[in-house]
Structure 1
């Protein structure tokens, strides 16, 4: 059976393309539940793949083909890791153009979970029911939910939550560890059909732990190499600078974001993490040309930062990491609310 919003439908409805007409009569063709039905019908059609848009974090979003059997294999690994049971409730609140939203549905179909749809928004818990079993959200959605008392209670009542699609800063991390539910930060990408590793968010800072059937190593460049034969047909070398640990791995930043300043390699993500211990408003670190250093790090902030705050934040940096300038500007984001590094650098590199 297919379970959507407390209603059940025979799988044959989707296989015979009857699900969408049935839901359209009740909810209309513009509803998010109708889009959910469209994807379910697509997943059960005679094609062996579905089209998925990449996030656009490393360039313009592009469409790739995701094999359905590999999506089911990915779903199996997550369901096993999180110990999700048949008829558990799962919140679907992610856009269905990208892999994260599609995989919520595939996990539900694989394990006969009950899908609870919420139109994607900054705060999906505002109107979501209590006592959900599972939810997949972004850091922005987690932040917005925790800012509202009612939404925080709903979020706290959810048994298991995975947060993916972006960096979790120190301020958000500290708020998340106060919740009673199991919360995990996920690591993955469109090419790995959502996440291949999860990190438990707790007072103890654990590393990312690969899902069953996934192994990782480092390339000669120091970037993460993923071996996940059930979901990727070949080894996948990422652009993420990583450190392998006894139980998993730690991500430090992306090699294509590294700033080579006078021969010193600076990782913007690491600098941002250190600065966010003090600065709680949106910031990003990027590069601009420098006649002395070749390129140098600069800090982009969406709000004015006073000198006292900056000096306090800079105490967390070494002498090479300190930005050479602070520029007030809107920070460009991708469709999945990650910092658009390429666009950001293009804005300021020639300044």
Structure 2
């Protein structure tokens, strides 16, 4: 028997009065988080939620996220995290597709009315029987007539609960993919998937109970959920929650709380790298940061090297997917690191690079990355055909183009869907981006393919310049032409002030293709 909620119960027993989560100026101990999760579980059971039922959760980085997340698991139900930026029809789709029986939704703000969107979506979903509004303060009433609050769910419920004994292969969470090709699909992750991946994260980052981490990535995203929330709880560390990444806020909190662990996506490391910091504060940050890790997308080598030099902290790069719970490969301090590499297969996971027929390719040859092991999802919920197309004999197809070197380190060349075919020749955007990042005036770059009547696709780069730097599109094109093969340099360059990103900080190339 196995229930992922055991990691919270274990840490609550070992470190009852230790800070588990800090939000603004409020500190929640492990005992408090566990007790409130028990009240949620009792409330769900009282409401009629049964083991195996799906309960959706839309909440920013707030202590209510782990409280409700683990309350759902304790009740033996399945968590369905919902992206807080979705609108009513997108939310309704996920509620229907997951067969959610209940929905816990944060109220939001006038700028982001999550609660109103969630309430509207709930009312479009007949199979979803219960809605609970999450308010910033428990005593606050719901602003929407007819919508119950989390306070109503837990009213009179005791802080003790005997967690339902699920099995290792029971579904713990359904994580929706980004839906870059068609409608999003819900990856079913088991209690074993998530627990073993949590243990991998603790091992890779070498987390210690004395650590304090900044959690700026959204907890509804599998990377933050596993590598930060679950790993932090498992190891009994202190997590400081930030609802939305902002370099100024991040630096302030890192100094105030003496942050020793920072995990982020490339745009966050880029933001910290270019944020002006006083020399004494920079020395304090550099002296306190013990572990950094990056995932979610490829970190430009130039950003990695500049960050490590500025903050005197090594960044471990890794690779994962929602369907992989998420860790697949990682660089390890123990086995050495390679800049630009996603590392080696994590413990218990096999990885290979294959051709279009699924045959394994030797070192140095590009192909699709496949993996199998304890991290591979149960399947896409309610979609057996899509599952069969994505998994072959236990091997998960990543959709990423990769190459392995002679030492067994893997490198992501690009997404299959991002590959540019220009005049019959393959051009990998990441290769072009890495070259352009070396230009003295370039701070960040994203390369995409755009339609071209003559060549099929043409190469276009969107460039963010460094502060006070000056460079024209023509100058950047000419410089890049001298640094890369003639069929690879961008024929179009657009200088922009920022690049569109997802809630988790990934650059939205699909938006750039239509810009």
Q: Please indicate the TM-score interval, normalised by the length of the shorter structure.
A: 0.7 to 0.9
Match of 1:338 in 2: 506
Q: Does 1:136 align with 2:136?
A: no
Deviates more, 1:103-112 or 1:293-302: 293-302
Q: For residues 31 and 192 of structure 1, do their structure 2 counterparts lie closer, same or farther at Cα, with a shift above 3 Å needed?
A: closer
Is the CA contact 2:413–2:428 (under 8 Å) kept in the aligned structure 1? Answer: yes
SS in 1 for 2:198: helix
User: Structure 1 residue 204: deviation in Å?
Assistant: 5.6
Listed as ranges, the gaps of 5+ residues in structure 2 are: 1-10, 13-19, 44-58, 78-170, 357-366, 379-393, 466-470
Q: For residues 306 and 296 of structure 1, do their structure 2 counterparts lie closer, same or farther at Cα, with a shift above 3 Å needed?
A: closer
Match of 1:17 in 2: 39
State which of 345, 353, 365 in structure 2 corresponds to 1:218.
Answer: 353
Q: Structure 2: how far apart are the matches of 1:4 and 1:15?
A: 14
Q: Structure 2: how far apart are the matches of 1:204 and 1:102?
A: 26
State which of 427, 445, 456 in structure 2 corresponds to 1:294.
Answer: 456
Q: Structure 1: how far apart are the matches of 2:42 and 2:500?
A: 36
Match of 1:127 in 2: 253
Q: Structure 2: how far apart are the matches of 1:299 and 1:206?
A: 20
Deviates more, 1:221-230 or 1:332-341: 332-341
Match of 2:239 in 1: 115
SS in 1 for 2:318: strand
Q: For residues 30 and 237 of structure 1, do their structure 2 counterparts lie closer, same or farther at Cα, with a shift above 3 Å needed?
A: closer
Q: Deviations over 1:66-89 (max 9, x none)?
A: 323311110111212232234533
Q: Does 1:78 align with 2:201?
A: yes
Q: Structure 2: how far apart are the matches of 1:31 and 1:107?
A: 16
Q: Structure 1: how far apart are the matches of 2:350 and 2:475?
A: 45
Is the CA contact 2:260–2:290 (under 8 Å) kept in the aligned structure 1? Answer: yes
The alignment's TM-score, normalised by the length of structure 2, stands at 0.59
Q: For residues 152 and 190 of structure 1, do their structure 2 counterparts lie closer, same or farther at Cα, with a shift above 3 Å needed?
A: farther
Q: Report which of the two structures shows the higher radius of gyration computed on alpha carbons.
A: 2
User: Structure 1 residue 30: deviation in Å?
Assistant: 8.6
SS in 2 for 1:32: coil
Is the CA contact 2:376–2:396 (under 8 Å) kept in the aligned structure 1? Answer: no
Q: Deviations over 1:243-299 (max 9, x none)?
A: 112232111111221111221111112111111111524432222333332222223
Match of 2:295 in 1: 164
Deviates more, 1:163-172 or 1:194-203: 194-203
Q: Structure 2: how far apart are the matches of 1:206 and 1:326?
A: 24
State which of 33, 37, 44 in structure 1 corresponds to 2:67.
Answer: 37
Q: Structure 2: how far apart are the matches of 1:214 and 1:190?
A: 15
Is the CA contact 2:348–2:373 (under 8 Å) kept in the aligned structure 1? Answer: yes
